[in-house]
Amino acid sequence: MRLLVTGGAGFIGANFVHDAVCEHDVTVLDALTYAGSRESLAPVENKIRLVEGDITDAELVGKLIAETDAVVHFAAETHVDNSLSGPEPFLNANVIGTFTILEAVRAHNVRLHHISTDEVYGDLELNSPQRFTESTPYNPSSPYSSTKAAADMLVRAWVRSYGVRATISNCSNNYGPYQHVEKFIPRQITNVLTGRRPKLYGAGANVRDWIHVSDHNSAVRRILADGQIGRTYLIGAGGERDNLTVMRTILRLMDRDPEDFDHVTDRVGHDLRYAIDATMLRDELGWSPTHTDFEDGLRATIDWYRANESWWAPLKDAVEAGYAGRNQ
Ligand code: NAD
Ligand code: TDX
């Protein structure tokens, strides 16, 4: 199959492309923003076509979609803290960008899989048995999650109104190789590796439902192959942990004192807890995660950042300067 992967030079997209080249003829469309890099695609650079361009460029998007059998749409602005300090790029990439992709798949009758997040559902109480399901009402908290929610709504409307052949997946927090050092886990690992103190927002009671990036991507492949058009699938691997626990685990795995970190200014509107019920994906498509031991996955991720300093070191100082300006 000819696959167009938007955002394929970012964290999840690049991991997806590394595997997809074994089965598909892959074109990546990526604007190479601060979050995307050619280096993330270096292991497969001779097996793909990388087009540097913006998903809001209707002419370019139309031309690429006319030449493809399916689109996997990862491209987005993705960092909640950036969306709080400057929301506008999120409107452009996440809303106008998704609209542009939808118009092109409609014009050329091309299959679309739209990648979204569990953050569209808002947050859950701590210590409750509740988890998000496909029927949980949307209730986004941040500029990031509200623009992702808007994009999901557009996809649903284009399926219903125009018969676009699309599926949606909403996944929980990913971790693994090639994640930008602005995000929680790689930030703390690279803080330790550069002699900085790790930084925890508030008390660290907030809970995230961690999934290894390869498990997210194996679910996306299953949905692309056998998902029902018009359906939303939730992807999660039962990996709920509070941030304090994750912080202490990283420090222990890196042979540091587990209390050797700073509490910093909390995120405004900080979502308390995310948790995914992935029963439908498991039952309907027979998917299951393979990285079920979080500590093993974390250890391998720490090893990756140790071994790939040349990938992340050029990003680190600017990211930390940005955080320092916000007392984070
Ligand atoms: P990322 O920030 O690492 O990568 C995003 C990529 O999109 C970058 O390569 C960037 O250059 C590209 N991009 C941004 N704006 C673009 C534009 N206008 N045109 C073309 N390319 C553009 O993000 P990620 O963590 O890999 O997330 C990928 C997708 O998965 C996003 O849609 C995100 O909402 C979703 N998601 C992420 C997580 C997570 O934990 N990281 C969880 C659930 C869902
Ligand atoms: O330095 C930090 N210290 C800290 O305590 C950072 C960067 C974060 N945190 C906290 C905030 C969150 O509770 O850690 C948690 C995870 O933070 P992020 O890595 O920023 O992720 P989150 O806000 O949960 O959103 C992520 O998961 C869903 C991705 O960035 C989104 O793109 C995805 O949709």
**Atom 5 in ligand 1: residue holding the nearest Cα:** 10
| pLDDT band (50, 70, 90) for residue 310 | very high
Confidence band for 304, pLDDT divided at 50, 70 and 90: very high
Q: What is the pLDDT of residue 294?
A: 98
Backbone angles phi, psi at 208, to 5 degrees: -120, 155
* Gap from CA of 27 to ligand 2 centroid (Å): 29
* CB of 273 closer than 6 angstroms to any ligand 2 atom: no
Nearest CA owner, ligand 1 atom 27? 12
Does 272 map to a domain? no
pLDDT reported for residue 155:
99
Mean pLDDT of 16-22: 98
Residue 42 inside a domain? The answer is yes
Residue nearest to atom 36 of ligand 1 (CA): 117
The reply to whether 164 falls in a domain is yes
The count of domains in the chain is 1
Per-residue pLDDT tens over the stretch 109-123: 999 999 999 999 999
Q: Is 8 in the pocket of ligand 1 (CB under 6 A)?
A: no
Is residue 271 in a domain? no
**Nearest ligand 1 atom to alpha carbon 33:** 11
Question: Does residue 31 fall inside a structural domain?
Answer: yes
If you measure from the C-alpha of residue 260 to the centroid of ligand 1, how many angstroms do you get, rounded to a whole number? 31
Distances 101 to 72, 130, 262 between C-alpha atoms, Å = 10, 34, 42
| 26 strand-pairing partners | 3, 48
Enzyme catalytic residues: 118-119, 144
Residue 287: which of 216, 208, 211, 212 has the closest Cα?
216
Handedness of CA 5, 73, 3, 18 (dihedral sign): positive
Q: Please write the tens of the pLDDT for every residue from 31-75.
A: 999 999 999 999 999 999 999 999 999 999 999 999 999 999 999
Across 2-14, average pLDDT? 99
Is residue 259 in some structural domain?
A: no
Q: Indicate which atom in ligand 1 lies nearest the CA of residue 34.
A: 11
> In this predicted model, what pLDDT tens digit does every residue of 286-298 receive, in sequence order?
999 999 999 999 9
Q: CA-based angle 247:252:258, to the nearest 5?
A: 60
Atom of ligand 2 nearest to the CA of 201: 5
Q: Indicate the top mutation candidate among 15, 27, 32, 78 to test ligand 1's pocket, ranked by most ligand atoms within 8 A of CB.
A: 78
Tell me, yes or no, whether 193 lies in a domain: no
Phi, psi of 315 (to 5 degrees): -90, -20
The confidence score (pLDDT) of residue 157 equals 98
**pLDDT tens by residue, 130-169:** 999 999 999 999 999 999 999 999 999 999 999 999 999 9
Q: Tell me if 117 CB under 6 Å of ligand 2.
A: yes
Locate 47 and state its tokens: 């097996």
Q: What is the CATH number of the domain that holds 49?
A: 3.40.50.720
Alpha-carbon span 41 to 115, nearest angstrom:
19
Cβ neighbours, 10 Å, residue 125: 9
Predicted confidence at residue 254, as pLDDT, reads 98
- Residue 230 in any domain: the answer is yes
Domain that holds residue 71: 2-175+212-235
The strand pair at 232-235 and 111-117 is best described as: unpaired
What is the structure's pLDDT at 46? 98
